[in-house]
């Protein structure tokens, strides 16, 4: 085996070649929300694996195909990568400084839709594998990939795929689609995701809006019904009133709390960046804010719509009112159960006129911070980054991690080159070459330790 | 004086000439909400008075000019007409069967924006006056007109106009801009209007929407703040919680209740036409529904807006949320006082983060149903309409009647040819020629009685 320096050199000398491959992939738009370019992009991914001698298969789903690929390595350990080849819509196009699907390199930063989320992370992982093949002639361990094309629309076909194909992607550990450094440059390890229940609550009281001079005092008003129904869900002190909502919540363990204690205080950063006057629930910062942010469940109104919303005044009783809401859930809350409890609560409170449409359910998932694989990832980062890896028990966001935990029973970690200014999901999404190289350096170190 | 038959004949033989004059007026768009064509339309009105030998003046305001006109008659009694020459926007244009500003007559119905509200009512009144001039050579009483050009945007400059010019329009009685027959063809007399306070409530919690995975559990949420603030204003049993809101409310008098008793039950009509399942406050119909509709105050959410309102899901904490609300007020509630009470209530309930923008204030106003002039109007209708005039103490809507009551201390009545299918403020606004003639017949009868 070659010394690690040879790999670090490789990531300098072969960088432009690898980035050229990424640029080709980004040039093929693959916007799942617009069902645009997905099959063509899946074929590109397929060919990238074929070129590298992987066993690869393109598996049809009712939506975009899933690509699975594998290649044997020296040890009998198997590492699984979860990535996705679809991207967010590029709109609003006018805010891009260069075309989203024609990547441009400026001052060692590559700009384009998907250069970070998630095509860049996929190609970065191939970069590390290429280094092993080119320098050592083999992979240190078995490697499997699963790439879906619908991550950005909530992975609607991944549950059925996992149910049917999970035996094809069995592994000892999984590296998730992304990873980040924080605003100080310290790599982050987020060992879980919150669950999500996304619903639309809708009330219809009439077949048309009615003049408020006539209906104001006697007609049911969809907007009032919605306001009262929403009010019944959470009190102004932020306590969710749905009976049983908190039943399954596991309080943060001592270990979780200890991990949160190691994080920098984020209160000032949030207040300045988002122009907020303070936090809810009497939070002021420190560990408590960090814990509340990601380890407690939430009930969020994401949108409200009813009646007249233009300038000035229009005097109507709205016939229809809707709210979009998400519930972020923590172990061991179950989105399906929360949905049933929500329905039951609304009925019990007299709001059986409020319809519920579900727009998605994802259970929470976690990886134990004491898992040996997590320690390997932290150790592997040590001589790559200026600061040690920061471990948190969970991110506040959500993703289909639970499927991998449920079917494959393996640890899931984050590794990558995301950074606070990467603009993922936004115009001018970008990739910093320095962090891109570090990410590949981190991965080869991890694979060497993991392979044993 | 000629027998009344001669007038009725006149309204048949000269109808097309009068309608031609109305068509010319409608062809001049005068949309106050879009500040379009107002001065040109005021000039047309001015010339219509000049042609008839009226003393007329076009009075400038910070907005559209007010036209006042007068002409002496035989008796020393003076009748005042309040009308407006502005119209509602014609949009949505695609729903008109013929162009809104190019009136078309089909099956004895004239279609066009303003043919009913309110250019048609103005020209209809001129039709009656023309009959007197042509048939008797003089008006039976003094006549004054005041026409404003901003009624459809809440008459913002009428208070200052009335303050300065009320002595110019002194009269013994006033005929308001409109009048209607009900679904059975019975003429309606609505002897008052409710007051109005229109406000926008707005909450801003951050400088941008924030990802709910990050902010859901820790950031203030503008939509939740708004929901809780609104909820504090009215309970689900429809009781307004603003302290003092009901203090000045005069309960319906026995006389009011007796008038409501004479009205037909409207419950089935409303339930069928608007597709509602029932009424609020346990109302089922009859007198109670009629009283609640127009003689009780209301607090209506007219619109809600916050965050994401498109298809599917977007997981954000909205930075801003707004509600439009109207409060319909009854004697002796005062909109200015209600606004102060609203502010005080929100502050007391912990919602000092909710901004209030006022979009208009109109006090309620009433005319006594026992006033001799009201009896004249009812008597004059007797041999014109198949059913006797139905008197209600108030309509549920609002208008600047209070200015005329306050400055001129005169009775205000409704007379006109509106009908349930007239589509005022909507596409295909129309005027039925049969009702148009009846309205003129009604007016000549009233003027004969009034002149004495």
CATH number at residue A63: 3.40.630.10
Stretch B413-430: mean pLDDT, rounded? 92
Give pLDDT, residue A154. Answer: 82
Interface test with B, best of A156, A216, A321 (most B CBs within 10 A): A216
The answer on A318 and A402 residing in a single domain is no
Is the CB of residue A361 less than 8 Å from the CB of residue A342? no
Q: Which of A11-25, A122-136, B79-93 has the lowest mean pLDDT?
A: B79-93
In a domain, A292, yes or no: no
Give the pLDDT confidence of B128-140 residue by residue, as tens digits.
999 999 999 999 9
Q: Cβ separation of B302 and A315 shorter than 8 Å?
A: yes
Chain A contact set for B301 (CB, 8 A): 221, 223-224, 227, 306-307, 318
Chain A contact set for B299 (CB, 8 A): 216
- Report d(CA A407, CA B110) in Å as an integer: 72
Is B95 a residue whose pLDDT tops 90?
A: no
In a domain, A146, yes or no: yes
Interface test with B, best of A246, A279, A302 (most B CBs within 10 A): A302
In a domain, B14, yes or no: yes
Q: Give chain A's domain count.
A: 2
Quick one: which of A51, A31, A52, A50 has its CA closest to A40?
A: A31
Give the pLDDT confidence of B438-451 residue by residue, as tens digits.
999 999 999 999 99
The answer on A178 and A103 residing in a single domain is yes
- Report d(CA B49, CA B71) in Å as an integer: 9
In a domain, A383, yes or no: yes
Chain B contact set for A305 (CB, 8 A): 304-306, 309
The answer on A178 and A29 residing in a single domain is yes
Question: DSSP 3-state assignment of B308?
Answer: coil
Give the residue numbers spanning the domain of B156. 4-193+364-451
Chain A contact set for B208 (CB, 8 A): 274-275
Among the partner residues B218, B224, B306, nearest to A279 by beta-carbon distance: B218
Chain A contact set for B313 (CB, 8 A): 154, 198, 302, 324, 326, 359-360
The answer on A394 and A357 residing in a single domain is no
Specify which residues B203 forms β-bridges with. Answer: B321
Chain B contact set for A293 (CB, 8 A): 214, 217-218
Chain A contact set for B270 (CB, 8 A): 218-219
The answer on B60 and B26 residing in a single domain is yes
Interface test with A, best of B151, B226, B304, B326 (most A CBs within 10 A): B304
- Report d(CA A350, CA B237) in Å as an integer: 11
The answer on A12 and A86 residing in a single domain is yes
B142 falls in which pLDDT band (50, 70, 90)? very high
| Bond into B362 cis (ω within 30) | no
Stretch A275-298: mean pLDDT, rounded? 96
In a domain, B148, yes or no: yes
Tokens of A54: 């992987």
Of A362, A387, A415, the domain-final residue:
A362
Interface test with A, best of B288, B301, B360 (most A CBs within 10 A): B301
Tokens of B367: 């005319």
CATH number at residue A345: 3.30.70.360
Question: DSSP 3-state assignment of B200?
Answer: strand
In a domain, B280, yes or no: no
Give pLDDT, residue A273. Answer: 86
- Report d(CA A388, CA A188) in Å as an integer: 9
In a domain, B260, yes or no: no
Q: Which of A87-91, B4-8, B142-146, B195-199 has the lowest mean pLDDT?
A: A87-91
Among the partner residues B221, B302, B308, nearest to A308 by beta-carbon distance: B302
Q: Cβ separation of A322 and B313 shorter than 8 Å?
A: no
Quick one: which of B137, B147, B131, B52 has its CA closest to B443?
A: B131
Question: DSSP 3-state assignment of B130?
Answer: helix
- Report d(CA B314, CA B367) in Å as an integer: 53
Stretch A323-344: mean pLDDT, rounded? 97
Of B362, B385, B407, the domain-final residue:
B362
Q: Work out the widest C-alpha separation in chain B, in whole angstroms.
A: 84
The answer on A400 and A324 residing in a single domain is no
Question: DSSP 3-state assignment of B141?
Answer: coil
Q: Cβ separation of B213 and A395 shorter than 8 Å?
A: yes
Chain A contact set for B321 (CB, 8 A): 304
Tokens of B163: 């303050």
The answer on B419 and B338 residing in a single domain is no
Is B144 a residue whose pLDDT tops 80?
A: yes
CA distance B149 to chain A (A): 18
Q: Cβ separation of B305 and A300 shorter than 8 Å?
A: no
Greater confidence (B314 vs B70) lies with: B70
The answer on B316 and B343 residing in a single domain is yes
Stretch B343-368: mean pLDDT, rounded? 96
In a domain, A290, yes or no: no
Q: Cβ separation of B276 and A220 shorter than 8 Å?
A: yes
Give the pLDDT confidence of B395-419 residue by residue, as tens digits.
999 999 999 999 999 999 999 999 9
The answer on A349 and A200 residing in a single domain is yes
Give the pLDDT confidence of A172-181 residue by residue, as tens digits.
999 999 999 9
The answer on B437 and B355 residing in a single domain is no
Strands of the sheet containing A78-84, edge to edge, are A55-59, A66-71, A142-148, A78-84, A173-175, A412-413
Chain B contact set for A214 (CB, 8 A): 293, 396-397
In the predicted model, what is the mean pLDDT of chain B? 95
Q: Which of A6-15, A222-231, A342-351, B414-423 has the lowest mean pLDDT?
A: B414-423
Give pLDDT, residue B94. Answer: 87
Q: Cβ separation of A216 and B316 shorter than 8 Å?
A: no
Among the partner residues B218, B302, B318, nearest to A302 by beta-carbon distance: B318
A298 falls in which pLDDT band (50, 70, 90)? very high
Give the pLDDT confidence of B356-386 residue by residue, as tens digits.
999 889 999 999 999 999 999 999 999 999 9
Is the CB of residue A341 less than 8 Å from the CB of residue A245? yes
Quick one: which of A253, A111, A116 has its CA closest to A192?
A: A253
Is B426 a residue whose pLDDT tops 90?
A: no
SS (H, E, C) chain A: CCCHHHHHHHHHHCHHHHHHHHHHHHCCCCEHHHCECHHHHHHHHHHHHHHCCCEEEEECCCCCCEEEEEECCCCCCEEEEEEECCECCCCCHHHCCCCCCCCEEECCEEECCCCCCCHHHHHHHHHHHHHHHHHHCCCCCEEEEEEECCHHHCCCCHHHHHHHHHHHHCCCEEECCCCEECCCCCEEEECEECEEEEEEEEEECCCCCEEHHHHCCCCCCHHHHHHHHHHCCECCCCCECCCCCCCCCCCCCHHHHHHHHCCCCCHHHHHHHHCCCCCCCCCCCHHHHHHHHHHCCEEEEEEEEEECCCCCCCCEECCEEEEEEEEEECCCCCHHHHHHHHHHHHHHCCCCCCEEEEEEEECCEECCCCCHHHHHHHHHHCCCCCCCCEEECCCCCCCCHHHHHHHHCCCEECCCCECCCCCCCCCCCEEEHHHHHHHHHHHHHHHHHHHC
Which residues make Cβ contacts (< 8 Å) with residue B13, sequence separation at least 6? Answer: none
Give the pLDDT confidence of B37-49 residue by residue, as tens digits.
999 999 999 999 9
Tokens of B216: 């859901």
The answer on B138 and B110 residing in a single domain is yes
pTM of the model: 0.88
Of A331, A362, A393, the domain-final residue:
A362
Is B310 a residue whose pLDDT tops 90?
A: no
Strand B142-148 relative to strand B390-392: parallel, antiparallel, unpaired? unpaired
Give pLDDT, residue B270. Answer: 92
Q: Cβ separation of A296 and B217 shorter than 8 Å?
A: yes
Stretch A149-160: mean pLDDT, rounded? 92
Give the pLDDT confidence of A61-118 residue by residue, as tens digits.
999 999 999 999 999 999 999 999 999 888 878 889 999 999 999 999 999 999 999 9
Q: Cβ separation of A213 and B279 shorter than 8 Å?
A: no
């Amino acid at each position: 085996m070659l010394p690690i320096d040879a790999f670090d050199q490789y990531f300098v000398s072969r960088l432009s070649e690898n980035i050229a491959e990424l640029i080709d992939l980004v040039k093929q738009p693959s916007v799942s929300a617009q069902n645009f370019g997905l099959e063509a992009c899946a074929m590109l991914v397929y060919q990238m694996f074929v070129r590298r001698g992987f066993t690869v298969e393109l598996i049809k789903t009712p939506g975009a195909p899933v690509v699975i690929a594998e290649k044997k390595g020296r040890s009998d350990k198997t590492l699984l990568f979860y990535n996705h080849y679809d991207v967010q819509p590029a709109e609003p196009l006018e805010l891009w400084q260069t075309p989203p699907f024609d990547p441009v390199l400026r001052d060692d930063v590559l700009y384009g839709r998907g250069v970070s989320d998630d095509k860049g992370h996929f190609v970065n992982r191939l970069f590390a594998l290429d280094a092993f093949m080119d320098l050592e002639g083999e992979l240190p361990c078995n490697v499997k990939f699963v790439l879906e094309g619908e991550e950005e629309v909530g992975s609607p076909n991944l549950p059925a795929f996992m149910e049917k194909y999970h035996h094809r992607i069995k592994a000892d550990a999984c590296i998730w689609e992304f990873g980040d450094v924080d605003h100080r440059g310290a790599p982050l390890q987020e060992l879980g995701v919150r669950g999500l229940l996304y619903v639309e609550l809708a009330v219809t009281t009439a077949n048309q809006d009615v003049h408020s001079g006539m209906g104001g005092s006697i007609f049911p008003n969809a907007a009032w019904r919605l306001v009262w129904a929403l009010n019944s869900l959470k009190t102004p002190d932020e306590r969710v009133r749905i009976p049983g909502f908190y039943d399954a919540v596991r309080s943060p363990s001592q270990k979780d709390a200890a991990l949160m204690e190691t994080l920098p205080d984020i209160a000032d950063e949030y207040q300045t960046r988002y122009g907020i006057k303070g936090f809810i629930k009497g939070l002021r910062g420190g560990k408590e804010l960090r814990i509340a942010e990601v380890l407690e469940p939430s009930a969020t109104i994401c949108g409200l719509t009813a009646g007249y919303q233009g300038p000035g005044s229009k005097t109507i009783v709205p016939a229809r009112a809707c709210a979009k809401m998400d519930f972020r859930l923590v172990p061991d809350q179950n989105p399906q159960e929360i949905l049933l409890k929500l329905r039951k609560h609304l009925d019990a409170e007299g709001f059986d006129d409020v319809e519920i449409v579900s727009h998605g359910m994802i259970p929470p998932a976690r990886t134990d911070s004491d898992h040996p694989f997590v320690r390997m990832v932290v150790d592997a980062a040590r001589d790559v980054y200026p600061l040690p890896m920061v471990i948190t028990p969970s991110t506040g966001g959500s993703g289909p991690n639970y499927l991998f935990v449920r079917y494959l029973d393996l640890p899931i970690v984050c590794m990558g080159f995301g950074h606070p200014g990467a603009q993922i999901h936004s115009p001018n999404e970008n990739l910093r070459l320095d962090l891109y190289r570090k990410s590949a350096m981190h991965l080869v170190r991890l694979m060497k330790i993991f392979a044993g």
